[in-house]
Amino acid sequence: MKKACLYLFMLSFLLFHTGCDMQMNENKKPMSETIGEKEIKLESDRLNAEVLWALGRIGEVAVSPDKTKVLFSVTYYSIEQNKGNTGLYVLNLSTGNQKQITHTPQGEYNPRWRPDGKKIGFLSSESGSMQLWEMNPDGTGRVKVSDFAGGLDCFEYAPDQKKVLFTSQVKLKQSTSDIYPDLPLASGRINHDLMYRHWDQWVDTYSHVFVAEYNGVSLKNPIDIMKNEPWESPLRPFGGAEQINWSPDSKSIVYSSRKKEGKAYATSTNADIFQYDLESGITKNLTEGMMGYDLAAVFSPDGSKMAWESMERDGYEADKIRLMIRDMATGKISDLTSDFDQNVSGLAWSDDGSKIYFTSNYHALDQLYSLHLADGKITKLTTGKHSYTAVYPAGDNLIATRMSMSMPIEIYSVDEASGQQVQVSFINKNILDQLNMGATEERWIKTSDGKEMLTWVIYPPDFDPTKKYPTILYCQGGPQSTVSQFWSYRWNFQMMAANDYIIVAPNRRGLPGFGQEWNEQISGDYGGQNMRDYLSAIDALAKEPFVDEDRLGAVGASYGGFSIFWLAGHHNNRFKAFIAHDGMFNLEAQYLETEEMWFVNWDLGGPFWDKDNPVVKWSYANSPHKFVQNWNTPIMVVHSELDYRIVASQGMQAFNAAVLQGIPAEYLYFPDENHWVLKPQNGILWQRRFFNWLDQWLK
């Protein structure tokens, strides 16, 4: 599951974005634990880490060609086995019947309906490597379709069902043993340029797009349409199958790629959309001259137009995501959201090609929208305290995936005309019905510069306003990702609330959903207004009679971890405990240790040796390591060895600085995790130490 396309599938439930304390037995497990659809009886109505890892996690969703059924994947985890397994389900939209159709130890991924609706295609490693398999819609008749030596990462059927595109890893670089065959056991790596590793993997291979003939029973004559090119599609580390698509006439393939190498690749976000013509073998750049990310192209049903998600500026990974459209006959490109001060995501055409559906975040809520091509009118289709993650047209209704701070992702049917939203999948109903969730409240708090800031407040279950509660300030990562109504499998607000903490989660400066000006303010201002926003939020809540201002803590990961390190040197004794996960501590070291150079160049202003740049001066002057002499508060530091975005030495430096000054500290280190904690037992360990630390200093 570490391949590029499958990575995004995994990330869909791990990024959105685990904690403890209910009546447990000595082994810290629920009374009876089973994996899959079987019932689980809980000993308490409070959420804990073991229960969190028992929840099913919905992944990819596909609507059948006749719009009557929904195919989707669900991953369950075994704590004992320390791994997950993904199975496929089919939901009948007319009857509401939901059935699991696969039950294999190796799992099934990347589920797709064959265009005629008679078969379901999927990837499985039953034969030793990931290959394409097919079965009947009821799960019977399972047969292997491909036998490609390199294995498949993801695939898509051609609309005419005569071909299949897929991606596979291609080795283009010489390894040490290739250069020196007499040293087969040498472990050294030889590098001469940047981007030799990315996120959590060394760059030894490239994901290429292949196309093969399909005769209904097997794949034949695969062709690498990116042959010998030293770049990849989809884009690592998180790009998936959404970045590669067929044209409706099955005559061409469009894919996203950043066709740069080395330093140029590491400093640029200029990814383009390329069209490969199957007959001529010619590849054409459809977004040449557009300098930012251009991703996830989708054709209108008649093939006359192509829509995609586009950022304007090179090097800025959090630029506004625009909805662009290209007339395929004339080549004219138009920005359909120039007056829409929000991002767009997950584009899907209506069946008649008159509208484009998408999700967008506004004021920390992700809703469904439609754009009518005739007049450019954008309509918000849903309301409510939740966040939609994807949308799929399905006849008279829309099928969409939705989550909130109180519920993991489930599938909903949405009536476009009325906005009525009906839950149609119930993967976790058995567990959720037994849990007592805390209330979530939206507050608008005035910042130090007179702005209004949306802040979520999450209360413990059975909240008693006459009591005083220890309270946690949650600092968001990203740095530019909204504190929306998300369900996390690590930073889970209901988990924190179940441990009798109040959580304060501000949408501080530098988060989307509040206009581009609010979002962009953070760039070049690390340690500035966004930190004052955090203090405004916690100071406002500390005035409430139910908040114990003598028992305040602050926690966060990534940029949130940086925030904790910075606050530790500037909080003026507000907080009694800190937890920082994967945070930047020494910005000068961070500049030369990270792999995605475009990020530090944009956000910090450039290298620390550029002494004449005022943004650079401000950024590095506000590096947390320059204020450790002010530290006086117990701090827990968490970091992982496979985090190449913010390397483990950043956390080590912070921990060492605390210990050398006699400050109570704990360092939780994972040698086999990346920027997240993905393994079940590591996740539970994380939760136990997280609450052990907070309980030690705040209770």
DSSP string over 569-601: TTSTT--SEEEEES----HHHHHHH-S-HHHHH
Percentage of residues in the chain with pLDDT exceeding 90? 94
Catalytic residue among 198, 208, 581, 675: 675
What pLDDT is recorded for position 7? 36
User: What is the rounded CA–CA span in Å between residue 337 and residue 322?
Assistant: 6
pLDDT band at 37 (very low <50, low <70, confident <90, very high): low
Percentage of residues in the chain with pLDDT exceeding 70? 95
Mean of pLDDT values over 535-555: 98
User: What is the rounded CA–CA span in Å between residue 694 and residue 578?
Assistant: 8
Contact 157, 121 (CB under 8 A): yes
pLDDT band at 128 (very low <50, low <70, confident <90, very high): confident
Residue count (the chain): 699
pLDDT over threshold 80, residue 11: no
Contact 561, 549 (CB under 8 A): no
Residue whose C-alpha is closest to residue 455's, from 537, 515, 532: 537
**Which CATH number is correct for 436-698, 3.40.630.10, 3.40.50.12140, 3.40.50.1820, 3.50.50.60?**
3.40.50.1820
What pLDDT is recorded for position 39? 77
**Span 135-144, pLDDT tens digits:** 999 999 999 9
Tokens of 70: 């929904």
What pLDDT is recorded for position 5? 42
**Span 232-278, pLDDT tens digits:** 999 999 999 999 999 999 999 999 999 999 999 999 999 999 999 99
Mean of pLDDT values over 67-82: 97
What pLDDT is recorded for position 127? 77
Contact 523, 516 (CB under 8 A): no
Tell me how many degrees the CA angle 601-602-604 measures, rounded to the nearest 5: 70
User: What is the rounded CA–CA span in Å between residue 110 and residue 88?
Assistant: 10
**Span 403-418, pLDDT tens digits:** 999 999 999 999 999 9
Q: In which order are the strands placed within the sheet that holds 219-224? A: 154-157, 163-170, 206-214, 219-224
What phi and psi, each to the nearest 5 degrees, are found at residue 277?
A: -90, 120
> Which region holds residue 626: left if phi is over 0, alpha if psi is between -120 and 50, else beta?
alpha
247 catalytic? Reply is: no
pLDDT over threshold 90, residue 3: no
Residue whose C-alpha is closest to residue 666's, from 578, 543, 538: 578
For CATH 3.40.50.1820, the residue range(s) in the chain are 436-698
Count of helix runs (H) and strand runs (E) in the chain = 14, 38
pLDDT over threshold 70, residue 23: no
**Span 299-316, pLDDT tens digits:** 999 999 999 999 999 999
Tell me how many degrees the CA angle 230-233-239 measures, rounded to the nearest 5: 135
Contacts 24+ apart (CB under 8 A), 101-106: 101/135, 101/137, 101/138, 101/139, 102/135, 102/139, 103/36
DSSP strand pairing (440-446 vs 452-458)? antiparallel
Catalytic residue among 558, 563, 623, 640: 558
Please give the DSSP secondary-structure letter assigned to residue 279: T
For CATH 2.120.10.30, the residue range(s) in the chain are 1-18+53-183+194-221
User: What is the rounded CA–CA span in Å between residue 544 and residue 553?
Assistant: 16
pLDDT over threshold 80, residue 132: yes
Tokens of 204: 């030894």
**Which residues on neighbouring strands pair with residue 400, listed in sequence order?**
391, 412
Mean of pLDDT values over 680-696: 98
Architecture of domain 1-18+53-183+194-221: 6 Propeller (2.120)
What's the mean pLDDT when you consider all of the chain? 94
What pLDDT is recorded for position 40? 86
What pLDDT is recorded for position 38? 62
DSSP strand pairing (577-581 vs 635-640)? parallel
Cα atoms in the 13 Å half-sphere on the side-chain side of 488: 20
643 catalytic? Reply is: yes
Mean of pLDDT values over 54-63: 97
Residue whose C-alpha is closest to residue 686's, from 10, 49, 13, 22: 49
- Cβ-Cβ contacts under 8 Å for 361 (sequence gap 6 or more): 342, 343, 387, 482, 484, 512, 513
425 catalytic? Reply is: no
Residue whose C-alpha is closest to residue 246's, from 302, 308, 298: 298
What pLDDT is recorded for position 84? 96
Catalytic residue among 366, 500, 525, 643: 643
Tokens of 491: 């930073």
